[in-house]
Amino acid sequence: MKQTTIGFIGGGNMACSLIGGLIADGYQPSAIKVADPDEQQRQFIASSYHVQTTASNQDVFAASDIVVLAVKPQVMRTVASEIDPVVHDKSCLVISIAAGVSTDHLSKWLGGGIAIVRAMPNIAVLVKCGATALYANPQVSDDQRSQAESIMRAVGLTLWLDDESRMDAVTALSGSGPAYLFLVIEVLENAAIKLGLSQETAHLLALQTAFGAAKMALESSDDCKTLRARVTSPGGTTEQAVKVLQDGGIQALFDQALEAAHHRASELSELLGKSDG
């Protein structure tokens, strides 16, 4: 894979995170090309990562073995129409990280018969701790699946879905999930401040507690229910707090929250698909 040229169409935060992750993993900057319409952003990327940049989407596609489409979902069809003239001149893997754009629609916009991997990363890729679900259409080979996984694994955990329709559930869980956890940390801080802690102390303790709990869960072979039971002594402080949360309907509340996110993800996907005309 070290000789493979990777092209990025779109040079925003997600693309920069992937580029930085790839280079940190030993990928040669000379094998990475980036297209972005903003001259200042191109200059920033070139100076930060020492990769080749251009304003031409066609040039990047034509020169690359793998192309990562890192543009907003609303402009995906426009970008696809720009690169369509060069798509079928070579065999190329396309990786899309645009939320809500199905592989069927993207393939159609690109003229059909294209190997496409759809990726749903979350914002934590910015700190190389992302969670990314992947789905490959039938045109993707085993080697291409491996290549796509290697690229996304440079910024965190990856896993494959066999059913693309599950992407909306992934969006509701890990795609939107960082916001839920930021909210939990926020309310923990506020509750601790009401108990008399300073804002700085409450903030640091809430952050480290969330980080430590997540690290324990990742490194343990036990599920979260078992881990929770271990720190919930009968008659203790934790038991009282957990009882309040459960009696208050925390499970039902999160059920409703994820269902709302799932429904909206489905709606947005349908709206993007309607632009297919």
Give the pLDDT confidence of 38-76 residue by residue, as tens digits.
999 999 999 999 999 999 999 999 999 999 999 999 999
pLDDT at 90: 67
| Backbone Cα Rg of the chain | 22
Q: Does domain 175-262 have CATH number 1.10.3730.10?
A: yes
∠ CA 259-127-159, rounded to 5°: 50
In the structure encoding, which two tokens stand for residue 35, read together? 């297209």
Q: Once rounded to an integer, what is the mean pLDDT over residues 134-148?
A: 97
Locus of tokens 């952050």: 207
Task: Give percent of the chain with pLDDT exceeding 70.
Answer: 97
Q: What is the pTM of this model?
A: 0.89
CB count within 10 Å of CB 263 equals: 12
* Predicted pLDDT of residue 275: 57
User: What is residue 276's predicted lDDT score, i.e. its pLDDT?
Assistant: 52
d(CA 16, CA 250): 37
Write phi, then psi, for 43 (nearest 5 degrees).
-65, -40
Number of helices and strands in the chain (H, E): 12, 8
Q: Do 6-171 and 175-262 agree at the fold level?
A: no
155: closest CA among 232, 97, 229, 80? 97
Question: Could you read off the pLDDT of 185-243 as tens digits, one per residue?
Answer: 999 999 999 999 999 999 999 999 999 999 999 999 999 999 999 999 999 999 999 99
How do 52-54 and 156-160 pair as beta strands? unpaired
Residue type, 101: V
Is residue 1 very low, low, confident or very high in pLDDT (cuts 50, 70, 90)?
A: very low
SS3 245: helix
CATH homologous superfamily for 6-171?
A: NAD(P)-binding Rossmann-like Domain (3.40.50.720)
Q: Which of 116, 113, 120 is CA-nearest to residue 160? A: 120
SS3 110: coil
Mean pLDDT of the chain: 94
Residue ranges per structural domain of the chain? 6-171, 175-262
CA 103 to CA 116: how far, in whole Å? 6
Residue 63 near residue 2 (C-beta atoms within 8 A) = no
Q: Write down the residue that tokens 């429904």 correspond to.
A: 263
- The model's pLDDT over 94-133, given as tens digits with 9 standing for 90+, comes to 999 999 999 999 999 999 999 999 999 999 999 999 999 9
Read off the pLDDT of each residue in 242-260 and give the average, rounded to a whole number.
97
With a CB cutoff of 8 Å and minimum separation 6, the contacts of 136 are 115, 116, 117, 118, 144, 145, 148, 160
The candidate with the shortest Cα–Cα distance to 130, out of 260, 14, 5, 256, is 14
Q: Identify the residue whose tokens are 């709302």.
A: 260
Contact 185, 207 (CB under 8 A): yes
Give the residue among 37, 43, 31 at the shortest CA–CA distance from 56: 37
